[in-house]
Amino acid sequence: MTVHIGAKPGDIAEVILLPGDPYRAKWAAETFLTEAVCVNQVRGMLGFTGLWNGHRVTIQGSGMGMPSLSIYANELIRDYNAQTLIRIGSCGGMQDHVGIRDVILAQTASTISTPSSTIFRDLNFAPCADFGLLVAADRAARSLGVKTHVGGIYSSDTFYDERQDLTDQMERHGILGVEMEAAELYILAARYKRRALAVLTVSDHLKTHEALPSEDRERSFGDMVQIALHAAFD
């Protein structure tokens, strides 16, 4: 047990999928895993461990934003020996060629600040995905027929952003989408020599203001879970 995770030692697998929403962790475990058992209920941040194609997997909610994700990722890595951590979540599209429902594989995650910023001080560290996971996820997305983009994303501290000038500069520099967790996950994976990737479904669009209808969310979320599982065990 840790401060925020009630699982016993050994209850958590080495491969972990991290959706922000704990109810999505429950849905994904019930839909894609066999023999899934709930291993964490502390603060309602549900976690489940089960089997996918015979491989042990844990699906643990991370909460929203980097401070929350940082707590779960730190404890999963340092106390439960997590080796592969794949964020599965939603993002806002930022380029014309990126559509609603498309999947973004975040090769890099630019950011203004993360919980790790105090360590880096004036160093502009470049958080990036594990190359092997990235390539495997790209291969899985192609074989599943999911429209996928690979490139840079932005990890923000705000959902209701007031910096249109910053959004404009990111769009100008090819950033594909915005979410709120990946950069800290990549930084922790680098620090502890683990593998990390963020697989993101575009749920809304900053330029077109389109949003994924609620009836489509489950299907799109399922594509992302499958891409992440295939990549983890490629």
Residues in contact with ligand HPA by the rule CB under 6 A: 90-92, 156, 159, 178-180, 203-204
Q: Name the minimum Å distance from CB 154 to ligand HPA.
A: 8
**Burial class of residue 213 (count of CB atoms within 10 Å of its CB; 0-12, 13-18, 19+):** exposed
Q: Name the minimum Å distance from CB 234 to ligand HPA.
A: 27
Nearer to ligand HPA, 50 or 65 (CB): 65
Nearer to ligand HPA, 50 or 89 (CB): 89
Nearer to ligand HPA, 58 or 155 (CB): 155
Nearer to ligand HPA, 58 or 156 (CB): 156
User: In this structure, what token pair is assigned to residue 198?
Assistant: 């963020």
Of the candidates 46, 38, 39, the one whose C-alpha atom is nearest the C-alpha of residue 63 is 46
> Are 38 and 5 a contacting pair, CB within 8 Å?
no
Which is the catalytic residue, given 11, 79, 161, 204?
204
Q: Name the minimum Å distance from CB 180 to ligand HPA.
A: 5
User: In this structure, what token pair is assigned to residue 33?
Assistant: 């895993």
Question: Which DSSP category does 42 fall into?
Answer: G
**Burial class of residue 226 (count of CB atoms within 10 Å of its CB; 0-12, 13-18, 19+):** buried
For 112: left if phi > 0, alpha if psi spans -120 to 50, otherwise beta; the answer is alpha
> Are 118 and 210 a contacting pair, CB within 8 Å?
no
Q: Name the minimum Å distance from CB 171 to ligand HPA.
A: 13
Active-site annotation holds for 234: no
Residues with catalytic annotation? 204
